[in-house]
A and B are shown apart, each in its own frame.
Chain A
Amino acid sequence: MITAAALQHAITAADWEALRPIIWIAGGALAVLLFDLCLPRGAHRISSVLLGVTSLVWAGGFLVRNYHTPYAAFGGAFLSDGFSVVFQGAIVLATLLSLLFVYTFEERISSAGAVALLLWAASGAMLMTGAGNLLILFLGLELLSLALYALCGMASRRAAREAALKYLLLSSMASAVMLYGMVLLFGVTGSVNFSAFLAPPPGNPLYLVALGLFYVGVAFKLGLVPFHIWMPDVFEGAPLPVTAFMSVATKAGMLAVLARIIYVATPAGLANKVLLPIWVVAALSMIIGNLAALSQSNLKRLLAYSGIGQIGYIVAAFAGATALGLRYALFYLLAYLFMTLGAFAVIAALSDQADEGARLVSYAGLAHRRPMLAAAMSFFLIGLAGLPPTVGFMGKLLLLSSVLNAGYISLAVLLIVGTAISIYAYAKIIRVMYAPMRHEVVAGAMSATWPLPWIAIAICSVAVLGLGLYPLVPSAVLPLVK
């Protein structure tokens, strides 16, 4: 059975070209580990960060080139289309910004190991964005998840390790549920390619069962509302760079999978049945995520809940399955990336290694001690709340228009309600920071640190303001069907 069909898949240079950004990032991780062996101990952190950033920037350059040359590599196994390139770009950016917080790892943690695992996790997420069949999707997902399990456990605080254990057990169960859905999809259609799911055997209830299991896995990994319970715990327990990475890069990978299933692999006849659960989950996430954010006293937990709401907004734009919705969702993903990572950068600038910069008490009267940081934090929170002149306002306006355009008036109303609730949650923090301070509030934190988070703060501020005034909505993003 070594047939001509098998040999047709002769692999050419163009196939590797499509994968080049991922290869650079995965190879960069190896370089980080190698240099760690050669260099003296004092240079470990800086060399890891520099090498990581270099490989990410290099990969970004290849992404820009790939944006205009869509190609289905490896016989359609990996699709390097405008859609996946934009998602990959978001993942590269998010990883780059997260790398700038690496010094918040404890001293004893091997920073090279952490950076290498972050880079591999990023390449897993990037594989997911371009996955054209279930095999690549599953492997990308597991590459991402396995690296994250290890990264979450990289702290000597017991809480962090327990969070890692919880995350491991729950997330691997979710992966297995999703895998069973994939297996049933293969069983029903006889193919592992997404394009084959467009024409399932008519009237087959097993197809809906399979999609249901698949969506449960997706919703768990995205932290959408009935499956969100793990998120605050894991976000609080994990080291700061890992939390920052998980809040954007992981979500971007899974959002790409969700979008590809909705836009490429949903048969026209089943669209109503498939889109209804997405509608419900998006609505629940927007409301419950923002409601729960109201009562948090730890900024990492608060950003976890706010992230649930923000991902809910993006999924709401997918629920209409319109081309406009996809473009605006991608724009909002970029907006969310800069706003959230900006907020994490402020936390990083305030953190010492005991990771105390995330508790709300440490922010009381921050405006009087560190006015620049307080101003930056307020700016990012205003953006997350969706107020002008930030990109959050512009993004939410576009999302709202696409939801209305798809004819989901009730969903649009819920989006506005969710936004209103979230304004309260964010305003609370701003009030704490600007409250008059009569006594010196103590915290072990607030020590002078590396300038790296300041670079992240600067990049994010410029992006949040700039994209808010000149929204650059990506245009060529419709997924390639192969």
Chain B
Amino acid sequence: MAVGELSNYVTLSAVLFFLGVAGVILRRNPLVMLMGVELMLNASNLALVAFSRAWGSMVGHIFAFLVITVAAAEAAIGLAIIVVVFHRSARVDVDDVTILKG
């Protein structure tokens, strides 16, 4: 299978990472913000797999596997906190979080 240049993959992962950052910074819905974090983690994984292939070292695959595990745990805890905060109120919106204004 033809595999392109490494810089193409790095570019792609950087763009996806920025889109994830945009999701966290620009959106106010905690669910979408959490999905933005997942996008960022996946962008890291893409870069890991590409680098791993380029160096011919499978450590990157192990790293990506660990990131997937951590992402699952993080999603579980994050969603639990979102449920605990918002279960009683209809709206899911960080701007409603007014008691603690930095």
Contact = CB atoms under 8 A, between A and B. Distances in A.
A208 B56 CA distance: 23
A186 B74 contact: no
A186 B100 contact: no
Contacts of B51: 183, 186-187, 190
A397 interface: no
B70 interface: yes
A146 B37 CA distance: 14
Contact of A169 (B24, B47, B60): B24
Contact of A176 (B37, B47, B77): B37
Chain A contact residues (Cβ within 8 angstroms of B): what range?
Answer: 35 or more
- The dominant DSSP class at the B interface is helix
A237 B74 contact: no
Nearest to B50: A187
Contact of B41 (A139, A179, A236): A179
Given A162-B100, A165-B97, A179-B41, A142 B74 contact: yes
Contact of B78 (A134, A168, A184, A187): A168
Interface stretch (A153-161, A409-417, A426-434): A153-161
Contacts of A134: 63
Contacts of B34: 169, 172
Interface in B71-102: 73-74, 77-78, 80-82, 84-85, 94, 97, 99-100, 102
Nearest to A233: B100
Contact of B40 (A159, A161, A164, A176): A176
Given A135-B63, A149-B81, A180 B47 contact: yes
B100 A173 contact: no
Contact of A153 (B17, B50, B58, B84): B84
A164 B67 contact: no
Contacts of A229: 102
Interface residues of B, number: 43
Interface string B33-57: 1101100110110011011001101
B21 interface: yes
B59 interface: yes
A275 interface: no
B70 A139 contact: yes
B18 to A, nearest CB: 10
Interface of B: 10, 17, 20-21, 24, 30, 33-34, 36-37, 40-41, 43-44, 47-48, 50-51, 54-55, 57-60, 62-63, 66-67, 70, 73-74, 77-78, 80-82, 84-85, 94, 97, 99-100, 102
Interface of A: 1, 134-135, 138-139, 142, 146, 149-150, 153, 158-159, 161-166, 168-169, 172-173, 176-177, 179-180, 183-184, 186-187, 190-192, 229-230, 232-233, 236-237
20 contacts: A135-B62, A146-B73, A149-B78, A149-B81, A161-B84, A165-B30, A166-B97, A168-B81, A169-B24, A172-B74, A172-B78, A176-B20, A176-B40, A177-B21, A180-B43, A180-B44, A183-B47, A183-B48, A184-B47, A233-B102
